[in-house]
Structure 1
């Protein structure tokens, strides 16, 4: 007779936040149990002196519990089999370790691999323009018509993530990366061999769709590996890779196009893309925590079934009365039960970003800000060859060499971004008045709030309008070419600060809805970026070089008010947000009271001044992460 299945999901059985949490009753019990681990990645459960033995068989009910990354796995109830068979070997659960707990070396490798993928994707976006003149001549169409290939690329890049994101939630990031990467590679080959203009436009759309995951989902990989306080450096590297690759594309392709043919521009991309997909397939490991947890539950349940088949039945589970009882145990994961159907998930993935865009002022203005900055970035594909070719007589290879300034600007901005938060944290720590009066930190600089991500962006975003005016008013042939080139580097650093601030601020503000908020800005950013190259030549010729640059610089200067408004009024704006209020209520329900549990366990309630001193001492040692925790604490 098949055993009945029971969901035993009360608070007493699951502990806080749906976890089967163990609190040791005394030091002796704790020390004894720490020596009885049966897996490589978890501690054994507590067995109190009031343990109640009970006999189980294969007809006993199966009791399901929710498994989390912090669940303490229980010990088997008995060490002998009525059938006399040997117990099946214990599974190796190390490979199911939470990505948050991976070694730094493994995290660093995943981040670097992801950033290389982002750079190659950005390279694909920028490498198309230098070949446009040769393609126009071969197919007898205008250069503007050929540039539509950038527009179709950006369209695929904007739309695909909204459809692919739910698949990464269900199947994990690895299969989406590999599957989309194969599409990316095949369509790059199609670009290299297509005999028609129409074929190029279609292939470019699918190249954009396939390559989009290596940009949009890398932010998700960073979130999988690092908690909020540790994401600054990985996100800085990710943003730097995106802008570096965008500048590297025309830099390399200009040389290839002038010395070979436009088809080799795409064959070079086929080679790099093939190497990337091979590396991702062989070396990238799944980082999505819910997927890893589901696999761990399947592995444990399979092992439990094998034990029962061999006659070893039951595990010691702690009950709400601090007693233990033997249970036929199985695990399940909450995210698997709460997941909607794939059709509904795609519908939400498409609908919610636009709903946020139209109803949330923060999402709207950030999307407008970053979309304009990205449009300026794509505008350089046409403006740099035009300006330097006209004013300085540069050929294709020489004009595209100017894009090295964009690469240098991205590198400098990345380095500055990595160290600026550390410098600010060290300044606050070394400020005697802040240590003596820690409550002032919230009034001076509040690094715990989302607005803490904008302090440097308020200043650095001004580099975009400065760079545009610099570029437009120094293009004259009487001025050395290096001067407007430096203006391009300056503008790139401004674009970088806007790009990074947008990702960080929206992620910190919307938490549960961050993916939708970021999808909204990504859609606007890529669509506007795809449109601007179509009007670049007409704009710069119609308004003159300095007039067009001044118009763009003026708009950029007006948009720099966005971070300033949020720094001063961000809390008020967020308080009026429907989505922010909904997520705050949800997070309050889910947030575990760790300190309360520890105090109940230890019977100690430290004095507030002792807690404050302990936080300050730990704060001094590690910079921004500790500053954020301390600011949030006080």
Structure 2
């Protein structure tokens, strides 16, 4: 057990350390097959795909109601436009709360139990939405269903940190970050036909059936990946076998009752939100982009049904355009981010730095505003329908590029606390996704599609330039000011 070989130079919390403590429980060797980073490649990707599908369900269910809002409003006698928008937005509000709880708890109890528990909560209350008799019941059930479905939003980055080395994370983040962004574009395509040919209740029942199927798959195939949990189990097993309390991990948490760890863990994301400049900056960047995404997606049906006079089922097909943008951006950035990371690392004498993720964010800064400009002005002048769709695809390419860089930056910086850091970003961006759609239609009513989307484009451009500049030129200084950053500069 006396080795000095880090699985990644910077990930000190996972090193095999040459110390004389014979009771320290760590990985048996740098190639220990029980270490999730050493699992077969196929097994690691199975874990990632299952978690990604869990992460897809919530955002997909959130946006599926958009084409059916008129039908739901008529059923529950909702006439106020804000109350109507709340059917969609209240789901996103809880996205700001759930990851702040599930992510730190996963750093105590492990990833698997939190993911599956969240999915069960979603299944129960999403089904209840289809059975709701009053608008109050609908609001409450949507809130609770959102709470369960948002659990993977805070655990995805942590799972990537568990399974992949820094050199491998680009592609993994490509898949994981695609899921919560692709969900809002897939949902309305499906629900547009539901709105035309059946009742809104099938929105909830169809997603419940699909979620139940995914949960069934997770029982035999989803494994625990969190190193603290796995090594803690190993220490407790040896203590029980030897009837002693001497065996311990480097975190020395085995002998502390788990309930005493809950409060400090729950406070960690809040502490990051209030004391960590890196997290605050990244969360603000993601909030602006996610808020604008949901503003556009929730007003998308209005453009096609009211301005282009298309049926809901046909209007829903236009969500394919932003979906294609997300997929294209995911594929492009997955390759680009890993190649630029390796190139910059080699130029830096083999030393890595989270700032090597910034170039992909800068690339997104070009596509996102440009796409909003194209979308806005082609919609204003009622060009052929392909015009707004091209713009929507473009800004989603930019969104995916920027998100990829930010998410990987946080994973590289906080490593074992990656789940908590991205939970903060998820919280802030979800608040933006809740708030932005509430004034989206008002924005277009006053400024029109042209200047309305141009304003959004300028906001994205300014915030992106500020974020890239601060991270590239000041990221090292910001990390040095923090006592929560796990990454250590060489």
User: TM-score over 0.5 for the alignment?
Assistant: yes
**Cross-structure match for 2:318:** 402
Query: Could you say what secondary structure the match of 1:168 adopts?
Result: helix
**Cross-structure match for 1:224:** 162
Change (3 A) 1:344 1:489: farther
Matched-pair contact (CA < 8 Å) for 1:64–1:330? no
Deviation at 1:264, TM superposition (A): 0.8
Aligned residue runs from structure 1 range 180-579, under 5 A: 180-301=118-239, 331-337=247-253, 345-421=261-337, 423-424=339-340, 441-442=347-348, 448-476=352-380, 478-511=382-415, 513-566=417-470, 568-571=472-475, 573-574=477-478, 577-579=481-483
1:65 pairs with one of 17, 20, 23 = 23
Change (3 A) 1:20 1:405: closer
**Cross-structure match for 2:66:** 129
Verify: 1:110 aligned to 2:41, yes or no: no
Aligned residue runs from structure 1 range 134-145, under 5 A: 134-142=71-79, 143-145=81-83
Matched-pair contact (CA < 8 Å) for 1:389–1:399? yes
Higher percent of residues as helix: 2
Deviation digits for residues 206-226 of structure 1 (CA, Å, limit 9, x no counterpart): 111101122221211111111
Deviation at 1:173, TM superposition (A): 1.6
CA distance in structure 2 between the partners assigned to 1:583 and 1:381 by the alignment: 37
Change (3 A) 1:333 1:22: closer
Change (3 A) 1:242 1:166: closer
Change (3 A) 1:514 1:103: closer
Change (3 A) 1:426 1:164: closer
Deviation digits for residues 397-445 of structure 1 (CA, Å, limit 9, x no counterpart): 222211001111111011101221455478789xxxxxxxx7xx249xx
**Cross-structure match for 2:115:** 177
Q: Give structure 1 stretches of 5+ with no counterpart.
A: 1-12, 24-62, 73-93, 306-327, 430-437, 589-631
CA distance in structure 2 between the partners assigned to 1:578 and 1:538 by the alignment: 41
CA distance in structure 2 between the partners assigned to 1:397 and 1:125 by the alignment: 18
Aligned residue runs from structure 1 range 27-46, under 5 A: none
Deviation digits for residues 500-531 of structure 1 (CA, Å, limit 9, x no counterpart): 22211222234465444322221110011011
CA distance in structure 2 between the partners assigned to 1:105 and 1:378 by the alignment: 34
CA distance in structure 1 between the partners assigned to 2:17 and 2:353 by the alignment: 32
Deviation at 1:369, TM superposition (A): 1.4
Deviation digits for residues 178-232 of structure 1 (CA, Å, limit 9, x no counterpart): 2221111000111111111111111111111101122221211111111222211
Change (3 A) 1:132 1:357: same
Between 1 and 2, higher relative CO (CA 8 Å, sep ≥ 6) is seen in: 2
Q: Give structure 2 stretches of 5+ with no counterpart.
A: 5-12
Deviation at 1:302, TM superposition (A): 5.2
CA distance in structure 2 between the partners assigned to 1:20 and 1:235 by the alignment: 29
Matched-pair contact (CA < 8 Å) for 2:174–2:334? yes
Change (3 A) 1:480 1:217: same
Change (3 A) 1:297 1:140: same
CA distance in structure 2 between the partners assigned to 1:295 and 1:360 by the alignment: 31
Change (3 A) 1:411 1:547: same
2:38 pairs with one of 97, 101, 106 = 101
RMSD between aligned alpha carbons? Answer: 3.1
Deviation at 1:148, TM superposition (A): 0.8
Change (3 A) 1:209 1:284: same
Query: Could you say what secondary structure the match of 2:27 adopts?
Result: coil
**Cross-structure match for 2:7:** none
Deviation at 1:564, TM superposition (A): 3.3
Matched-pair contact (CA < 8 Å) for 2:235–2:254? no
Deviation digits for residues 71-116 of structure 1 (CA, Å, limit 9, x no counterpart): 69xxxxxxxxxxxxxxxxxxxxx9x811111111111211122222
Q: Name which of structure 1's ranges 338-347 and 232-241 shifts more when overlaid on structure 2.
A: 338-347
CA distance in structure 2 between the partners assigned to 1:245 and 1:187 by the alignment: 19
Deviation digits for residues 131-167 of structure 1 (CA, Å, limit 9, x no counterpart): 2110111111134313212222122221122222343
Deviation at 1:243, TM superposition (A): 1.6
CA distance in structure 2 between the partners assigned to 1:118 and 1:345 by the alignment: 26
Deviation digits for residues 544-566 of structure 1 (CA, Å, limit 9, x no counterpart): 22121121111111112134313
CA distance in structure 2 between the partners assigned to 1:422 and 1:505 by the alignment: 12
Give the number of aligned pairs.
479
**Cross-structure match for 2:10:** none
Change (3 A) 1:394 1:304: same
Could you tell me the TM-score, scaled by structure 1's length?
0.69
